[in-house]
């Protein structure tokens, strides 16, 4: 249980670009990827904006026939995984396949396929429903198909914890490696829920921003004028590896994962617990596992959804955990730039933070213009900040009361 777990590869398909360098370029430029929805006609919808992945061609990453048989969320996961394995310079062979696992989660899965095939059944009858609907729809298929595509025969399952999903996938993958059940795990999350029913449902719950006339500024975490999150899509993947295994093959180690905290609010299906008690538990657990004091943390990548309740509650929780140091700790939200990617969020945000840690740049919270007295921390407003930091925490909280905090450190021998 004392094995060190390191990150040796990263992959990303995001609204800011189709690989990690493009994602990072968008972060450096503090660019918004939010615009009017193009995947369907949003005219009748209260929310008409989202952060879409543009220019993605699944045939560039997988066989055309297999692409047609798989949902968009699976296609995105395959693409991000292949980039992550390339960046790790790791090849799966028949000799090592049993030691390679895949843990990729999704909060919603193939929602668009369920909707489209229901219409087929209504219009043409049940016999015309696609035989591929079930594997297209179920959330475990991203990890399932990725393992088939890359030939990994190790541990494979799919955590589903709404917007905490990717965080759980990465944290559980770390535990599997620590206890010696795998040497390498492809871990992360994927989501493609920008669909008619997806937007309609979240809007009906009054969770989405309706700033349709100015999409680029709609996601504004911690700002006093925030009024909802903006849906995003994408996939983020980390290659986690046993330290000794990584060293033995001469891998380029980009970070070490040292802490994982997980808790449940047991409070409400959509609202965070009062005073952020569940988030406090998760953050404290991650710090304890890492053997770190609160004042030693260099940066916090917040869940920061841009909803009134979440941002206020997360701020309270951060102040509870970090005390006076909370006012010195840089805190920012990538969701201001590429929206809320739901089950993929924790992985994409870990990719951004690892890149920032290695480049000495803290991502900004863009669209921050009106301070909120209840959100009074250093949110790195509008412009990325050049600053060296050797550790960061990434928070992910989900409907149902799920809380995850991951803690990474700069790798050192």
- Residue 303 annotated to the active site: yes
How many CB atoms are closer than 10 A to CB 413? 5
What's this model's pTM, rounded to 2 decimal places? 0.97
DSSP state at residue 218: S
Q: Is residue 223 helix, strand or coil?
A: coil
d(Cα 228, Cα 212) in Å, to the nearest integer?
A: 12
pLDDT of residue 1: 67
pLDDT for 266-320, tens place per residue?
999 888 998 999 999 999 999 999 999 999 999 999 999 999 999 999 999 999 9
Here the tokens at position 83 are 């980039």
Domain ranges of the chain: 5-248, 260-409
pLDDT at 173: 98
pLDDT at 274: 86
CATH topology for 5-248? Peroxisomal Thiolase; Chain A, domain 1 (3.40.47)
Kindly report each contact of residues 63-66 with a partner whose C-beta sits within 8 Å and lies 24 or more positions away, as own/partner. Answer: 66/145, 66/149
Q: Burial-class residue 210 by CB neighbours within 10 Å (0-12, 13-18, 19+).
A: middle
Distance (Å) of CA 170 to CA 48, 207, 241? 32, 26, 11
For residue 151, count other CB atoms closer than 10 A to its CB: 13
For residue 188, list its beta bridge partners.
104, 237
Three-class SS of residue 363? coil
What DSSP state is assigned to residue 220?
-
| Contact between residue 350 and residue 407 where contact means Cβ atoms under 8 Å apart | no
Q: Which of 47, 163, 375, 402 is catalytic?
A: 163
Task: Dump pLDDT digits (tens) for 221-267.
Answer: 999 999 999 999 999 999 999 999 999 999 999 999 999 999 999 99
**The domain made up of 260-409 is a member of CATH 2.30.30.30:** no
Active-site hit among 47, 158, 245, 303 = 303
Tens digit of pLDDT at every position of the chain (413 positions): 689 999 999 999 999 999 999 999 999 999 999 999 999 999 999 999 999 999 999 999 999 999 999 999 999 999 999 999 999 999 999 999 999 999 999 999 998 888 899 999 999 999 999 999 999 989 999 999 999 999 999 999 999 999 999 999 999 999 999 999 999 999 999 999 999 999 999 999 999 999 999 999 999 999 999 999 999 999 999 999 999 999 999 999 999 999 999 999 999 988 899 899 999 999 999 999 999 999 999 999 999 999 999 999 999 999 999 999 999 999 999 999 999 999 999 999 999 999 999 999 999 999 999 999 999 999 999 999 999 999 999 999 999 999 999 999 999 98
Q: Which of 158, 245, 340, 402 is catalytic?
A: 340
Tell me, yes or no, if 47 is annotated catalytic. Answer: no
Strand-pairing partners, residue 189, are: 105, 236
Q: What is the number of other CB atoms lying within 10 angstroms of the CB of residue 134?
A: 14
The span from the CA of 354 to the CA of 298, in Å, is 12
Q: How far apart are CA 353 and CA 226, in angstroms?
A: 24
């Amino acid at each position: 249980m004392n094995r060190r777990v390191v990150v040796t590869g990263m992959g990303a398909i995001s609204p800011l670009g189709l690989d990690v360098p493009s994602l990072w370029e968008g972060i450096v430029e503090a660019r918004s990827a939010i615009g009017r929805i193009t995947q369907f006609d949003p005219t009748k919808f209260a929310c008409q904006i989202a952060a879409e992945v543009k220019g993605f061609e699944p045939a560039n990453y997988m066989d055309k026939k297999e692409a047609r048989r798989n949902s968009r969320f699976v296609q995105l996961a395959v693409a991000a995984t292949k980039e992550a394995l390339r960046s790790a310079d790791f090849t799966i062979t028949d000799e090592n396949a049993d030691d390679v696992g895949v843990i990729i989660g999704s909060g919603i899965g193939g929602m668009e396929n369920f909707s489209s095939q229901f219409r087929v059944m209504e219009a043409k009858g049940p016999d015309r429903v696609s035989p591929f609907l079930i594997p297209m729809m179920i959330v475990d298929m991203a990890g399932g198909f990725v393992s088939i595509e890359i030939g990994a025969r190790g541990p494979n399952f799919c955590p589903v914890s709404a917007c905490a999903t990717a965080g759980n996938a990465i944290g559980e993958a770390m535990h599997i490696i620590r206890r010696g059940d795998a040497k390498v795990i492809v871990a992360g999350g994927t989501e493609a829920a920008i669909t008619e029913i997806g937007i309609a449902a979240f809007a009906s719950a009054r969770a989405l921003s309706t700033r349709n006339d100015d999409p680029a500024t709609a996601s504004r975490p911690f700002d006093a004028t925030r009024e909802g999150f903006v849906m995003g899509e994408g996939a983020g993947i980390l290659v986690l590896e046993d330290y000794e295994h990584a060293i033995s093959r001469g891998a380029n180690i980009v970070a070490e994962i040292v802490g994982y905290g997980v808790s449940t609010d047991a409070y409400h299906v959509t609202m965070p617990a009062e005073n952020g008690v569940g988030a406090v538990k998760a953050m404290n657990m991650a710090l304890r596992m890492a053997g770190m004091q609160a004042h030693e943390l260099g940066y916090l990548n917040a869940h920061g959804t841009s909803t009134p309740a979440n941002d206020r509650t997360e701020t309270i929780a951060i102040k509870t955990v970090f005390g006076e140091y909370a006012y010195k700790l840089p805190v920012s939200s990538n969701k201001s730039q590429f929206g809320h990617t739901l089950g993929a969020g924790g992985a994409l945000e870990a990719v951004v933070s690892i890149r920032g840690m290695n480049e000495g740049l803290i991502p900004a919270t863009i669209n921050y213009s009106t301070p909120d007295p209840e959100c009074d921390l250093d949110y790195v407003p509008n412009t990325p900040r050049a600053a060296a930091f050797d550790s960061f925490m990434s928070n992910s909280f989900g409907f149902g009361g799920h809380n995850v905090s991951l803690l990474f450190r700069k790798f050192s021998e």
